[in-house]
C-alpha cells in the first residue's frame, strides 16, 4: 500500500490522504507500541474526506473514536498482537 498524505494537522496529530493503488481515502494518526512507532490508517469515503478537510471538529470527533478503538472495522491494515496505543 502506498499512502499519500493530502492534509496534515500537526497540532492534533492526524492526517488525511489517499491510498494510491486503490484510491481509498483515509485518516491516520501515530501509534506507539513501546517498541516501535507507526501509523494506523482508517478507511473513509470521499464525502467524509471532504468534510474532515474543512471541518476540524468533525474530523477530531472521528479521529478520537478511532483512537479509542471504536472504529476498528475501518482499519486498512490489521494490527499485530502487540498493538500500540495512540500517541
**What are 65's three cell numbers?**
473514536
pLDDT value at residue 22: 96
3-class state of residue 4 by DSSP: strand
- For the chain, the structural domain boundaries read 3-77
- Short-list 35, 30, 27, 11, CA closest to 62: 27
3-class state of residue 75 by DSSP: strand
pLDDT at 70 over 90: yes
Residue 81: pLDDT band (50, 70, 90) is: confident
pLDDT in tens, 35-62: 889 999 999 999 999 999 999 999 999 9
pLDDT at 69 over 90: yes
**For the chain, percent helix, then strand, then coil, each to nearest 5?**
30, 40, 35
Which sign does the torsion angle of CA 28, 66, 71, 40 carry? Answer: positive
Amino acid at each position: 500500500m502506498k499512502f499519500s498524505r493530502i492534509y496534515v494537522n500537526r497540532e492534533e496529530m492526524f492526517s488525511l490522504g489517499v491510498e494510491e493503488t486503490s484510491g481509498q481515502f483515509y485518516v491516520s494518526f501515530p501509534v506507539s507500541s513501546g517498541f516501535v512507532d507507526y501509523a494506523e490508517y482508517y478507511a473513509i469515503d470521499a464525502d467524509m474526506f471532504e468534510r474532515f478537510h474543512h471541518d476540524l471538529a468533525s474530523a477530531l470527533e472521528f479521529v478520537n473514536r478511532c483512537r479509542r478503538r471504536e472504529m476498528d472495522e475501518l482499519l486498512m491494515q490489521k494490527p499485530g498482537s502487540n498493538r500500540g496505543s495512540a500517541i
